Structure 1
Amino acid sequence: MDYQFKTMDDVDFESKTVLVRVDVNSPVDPLSGDLLDDTRMVLHSTTISELSDRGARVVIIAHQSRPGKSDFTTLKQHAEVLSNITGKEVQYVDSIFSSYVKNTIKNMVNGEIILLENVRFYSEEMSKLTPEEQADTQLVRSLAPLADYFVNDAFATAHRSQTSIIGFSKALPSIAGRVMELELNTLYQILDNAQEPRVYVLGGIKADDSIDVMANALKSNSADYILTTGLVANIFLQAKGIDIKEYNRNFIIERGYEDYIDIAKDLLKEYSDKIILPIDLAILEDDSRVEYMVDELPDLPIYDVGSKTISMYMEKILIAKTLFANGPAGVFEKEGFSKGTEDLLNTIGESDGFSIIGGGHLAAVASNMGLDDVITHISSGGGASINLISGKALPAVKALDESARKKDNF
């Protein structure tokens, strides 16, 4: 891959002010408001602690959820959790670029760490702006003059063109943090050595990401087989003319994916030999798992792929030389419906090929199953990894590359 980026090994951080973008977006208990998982904070603690230990003044920028969601909250708890993980005080500052923030940054001492407020509280973060416009936002114009370097460690959001991800790279020398460095080196190495057959297992409830990646992978001829599960499979079954019944059709519409049925139809017309659909499905019937062939479905919720489909998919997985999986096969949290997700993950673990698990729920399940040592790479970012694997340029990587090529930056 023709890309460049500087790492933390290339810079002396002593007495330097460093803006660090991390992704500590975490699940929140809807009743108590407490954070339910610290996985991402544990990951980024390596970068944060190293910068502090090397004498930097560390200013962390991060987000939690997005506007309109119930878990769209402040980062006060995140600062407390990061303090516990790093063993260093991480001071929470309840603003983003106010005069108080600016004065706080100016008065920091070497090794000190602060966490600014949820960057998505700032409207321009979620706006669709060009990189040049993002570099000219209030956020960048306010904070960049106070810093010496920008460290992007937020691989999980590397596929997003948002101000805090790419805006600072126009204004400051930009470096990959340890999480970003590991992800890029690992994924590009696997891509550069990808052997056929290349098998994708795409599911989950975020069907737009998976279908976009599927289209890109097929058009770039980087996939030999795509095994569909989850909501992705339901959309393709509907596109093929299979009657998945009213409940499941309505669910596709409610999730905002009705337009993807036409996209799926077009992909099936051109790549029907590569897109593999389920032949049976597991239905939630009387609070139990009941399996039906796809042409015999009752009007009840589809919760998993069926046993015959699992066996068919396992055969494809075991012959693969390069494997990529993103999204669970069904509602794995519900008793009786984790079979598809767990059986396919176990088979990926048994495969002799290179294997990559995207981030999110599937990564968590794989780790909980103890598969970390038998899967080549479990990524911290689902959307970022699937876009990168399918050959799509990541805005954050492009920004790091452009910064690395500027002779005056380093």
Structure 2
Amino acid sequence: MAGKFYTIDDFDVEGKTVLLRIDINSPVDPNTGVILDDTRMKLHVKTITELARKGARVILLAHQSRPGKKDFTTLRQHSKVLTRLLNRKVHYVDSIFSTPAKIAINNLRPGEVLLLENVRFFAEESLKRPVEQQAQSIIVRELSPLIDFFVNDAFAAAHRGQVSLVGFTLNTPSAAGRVMEHELNVIMNTLDNVESPCVFALGGMKADDSIMVAKNVCKNGTADYVLTSGLVANIFLAAAGYDIGQVNMDFIKSQGYIDQIDVCKRLLEEYPDNIIYPEDVAIEKDEERVDVPVDNIPNYSIFDIGKKTSARYSKIILNAKTIFANGPAGVFEDSRFSIGTEDIINSIASSKGYSIIGGGHIGAATVSMGYENKVDHVSSGGGACINLLAGKKLDAVEALIDNKSRHVYH
């Protein structure tokens, strides 16, 4: 995607004020407010440091969780963690565009960094509207006169068209930060230059997204094999006519995916050689893991792919030249049912093929196994990554592309 949007390299930021949208949404202890994992913050160190070293006044705009959740909180702790990671003071103001926030912005000196309050405290952030309307939002009207450039580095949120992600791009010179730039280039370049055999290992709980990816990559000929696991596999098994047990059918229904069974039936009819579902699954019986063949599943919850399936999937992955993986194969947090996920990650790490692992749970599992350096790319954004794989356009990226197409900046 290089050249479609501006990057930091296109702008002279020395002495300028840069509004930098980052994604530092992190696990937080709801009782103490202590941040439990700083992985996402570490990702943005490169972009923030580069802008500060080039003499920009850097204003950070970010979100934490969403209203109604226990970890929906201020960004005070985030500023302290960022200060440690950047080895430079990150000032914090507990508002977004109030008078104290504007004073703090105006008092910034070149090379200094200021973190504004959680942007989701601002009600308009939750509204879905066209970019032209987002640009009329109060936050954009209040902050735009104070900034020279807008830089979006929040790849993990790039599939959302919220105010803080697209609103500033209409009239402000806008660029992708280093995280955004790297993610888009790696994923899109790989999709554009797929080597065969190409394998997509799709699992997890967001079944409709994975099914959409399966449809897209089979239709356009990208995938030689789609290996299904997790809830995705259960839906394909039901579509293939297997009795997966009422408890599992009820769960599919409770998640709002009952209509996906018919979608999967059509996919299996169209791509019978490409889409592979499990031959055995793991259930919990008497607090033990029990592997059962798919033609004899008792009415117990399915928690993992079976060991035979895991071995078959691993063999296919080991022979692949391009591998995409998104979503765990089962309830990997429980050691009894982590075999499928671990085997898939192990085989990806051992494969000589080029590998991309989506964000979210499978990305976390890859890191926890110490394999992040044995795969080619672990994406920072599960939702954004899977949207790209499904052939969807990302709202925040389209806004950056549109910004460059409409404006020439010197």
Q: Paired residue for 1:185?
A: 185
The farther-off stretch of 176-185 and 367-376 is 367-376
State the alpha-carbon separation in 2 of the partners of residues 92 and 143 from structure 1.
16
Instruction: State the Cα deviation string for residues 133-160 of structure 1 (Å, max 9, x = none).
Output: 1112122112112110011111111122
Helix, strand or coil for the counterpart of 1:336? helix
Q: Paired residue for 1:40?
A: 40
Contact map agreement 2:2 2:185 (CA 8 A) in 1? no
Q: How do residues 197-216 of structure 1 correspond to structure 2 at under 5 angstroms?
A: 197-216=197-216
State the alpha-carbon separation in 1 of the partners of residues 327 and 373 from structure 2.
20
Q: Paired residue for 1:292?
A: 292
Indicate whether 1:245 and 2:239 are aligned. Answer: no
Contact map agreement 2:79 2:115 (CA 8 A) in 1? yes
Helix, strand or coil for the counterpart of 1:263? helix
Q: Paired residue for 2:397?
A: 397
Helix, strand or coil for the counterpart of 2:168? helix
Relative distance call for 1:205 and 1:61 in structure 2 (3 A) is same
Amino acid at match of 1:269: E
Helix, strand or coil for the counterpart of 1:226? strand
Q: Paired residue for 1:80?
A: 80
Amino acid at match of 1:208: D
Aligned residues: 410
Instruction: State the Cα deviation string for residues 180-219 of structure 1 (Å, max 9, x = none).
Output: 1221222233223211222100111222322232232233
Relative distance call for 1:257 and 1:120 in structure 2 (3 A) is farther
The farther-off stretch of 152-161 and 60-69 is 60-69
Relative distance call for 1:5 and 1:228 in structure 2 (3 A) is same
Q: Paired residue for 2:60?
A: 60
Relative distance call for 1:35 and 1:134 in structure 2 (3 A) is same
State the alpha-carbon separation in 2 of the partners of residues 105 and 157 from structure 1.
24
State the alpha-carbon separation in 1 of the partners of residues 43 and 81 from structure 2.
12
Q: Paired residue for 1:159?
A: 159
Relative distance call for 1:91 and 1:251 in structure 2 (3 A) is farther
Q: CA RMSD in A?
A: 1.9
Contact map agreement 1:403 1:409 (CA 8 A) in 2? no
Contact map agreement 2:33 2:77 (CA 8 A) in 1? no
State the alpha-carbon separation in 2 of the partners of residues 234 and 349 from structure 1.
26
Contact map agreement 2:89 2:113 (CA 8 A) in 1? yes
Helix, strand or coil for the counterpart of 1:35? coil
Q: Paired residue for 1:114?
A: 114
State the alpha-carbon separation in 2 of the partners of residues 67 and 221 from structure 1.
41
Q: Paired residue for 2:141?
A: 141
State the alpha-carbon separation in 2 of the partners of residues 260 and 86 from structure 1.
45
Contact map agreement 1:3 1:401 (CA 8 A) in 2? no
Helix, strand or coil for the counterpart of 2:79? helix
Q: Paired residue for 2:386?
A: 386
Helix, strand or coil for the counterpart of 1:405? helix
Q: Paired residue for 2:327?
A: 327
Helix, strand or coil for the counterpart of 2:371? coil
State the alpha-carbon separation in 2 of the partners of residues 342 and 266 from structure 1.
30
State the alpha-carbon separation in 2 of the partners of residues 282 and 318 from structure 1.
23
State the alpha-carbon separation in 2 of the partners of residues 216 and 398 from structure 1.
20
**1:31 Cα offset (Å):** 4.7
Contact map agreement 2:148 2:172 (CA 8 A) in 1? yes
Contact map agreement 1:222 1:390 (CA 8 A) in 2? no
Q: Paired residue for 1:272?
A: 272
State the alpha-carbon separation in 1 of the partners of residues 195 and 384 from structure 2.
21
Relative distance call for 1:31 and 1:21 in structure 2 (3 A) is same
State the alpha-carbon separation in 2 of the partners of residues 351 and 197 from structure 1.
12
Q: Normalization by structure 2: what TM-score?
A: 0.94
Percentage of identical aligned residues: 56
**1:407 Cα offset (Å):** 4.2
Relative distance call for 1:131 and 1:7 in structure 2 (3 A) is same
State the alpha-carbon separation in 2 of the partners of residues 277 and 376 from structure 1.
26
Helix, strand or coil for the counterpart of 1:332? coil
Amino acid at match of 1:62: A
Amino acid at match of 2:82: L
Helix, strand or coil for the counterpart of 2:201? strand
Amino acid at match of 1:276: I
Helix, strand or coil for the counterpart of 2:336? coil
Q: Paired residue for 1:313?
A: 313
Contact map agreement 2:283 2:289 (CA 8 A) in 1? yes
State the alpha-carbon separation in 1 of the partners of residues 258 and 67 from structure 2.
23
Contact map agreement 1:19 1:59 (CA 8 A) in 2? yes
Amino acid at match of 2:175: I
Relative distance call for 1:351 and 1:106 in structure 2 (3 A) is same
State the alpha-carbon separation in 1 of the partners of residues 179 and 399 from structure 2.
16
Amino acid at match of 2:365: V
Contact map agreement 2:209 2:390 (CA 8 A) in 1? no
The farther-off stretch of 59-68 and 16-25 is 59-68
State the alpha-carbon separation in 2 of the partners of residues 153 and 281 from structure 1.
40
Contact map agreement 1:216 1:392 (CA 8 A) in 2? no
Structure 2, unmatched stretches of 5+, are: none
**1:234 Cα offset (Å):** 1.5
Q: Paired residue for 1:16?
A: 16
**1:3 Cα offset (Å):** 5.3
State the alpha-carbon separation in 1 of the partners of residues 370 and 2 from structure 2.
35
State the alpha-carbon separation in 2 of the partners of residues 72 and 207 from structure 1.
26
Q: Normalization by structure 1: what TM-score?
A: 0.94
Relative distance call for 1:66 and 1:261 in structure 2 (3 A) is farther
Amino acid at match of 1:123: A
Helix, strand or coil for the counterpart of 1:282? strand
Helix, strand or coil for the counterpart of 1:215? helix
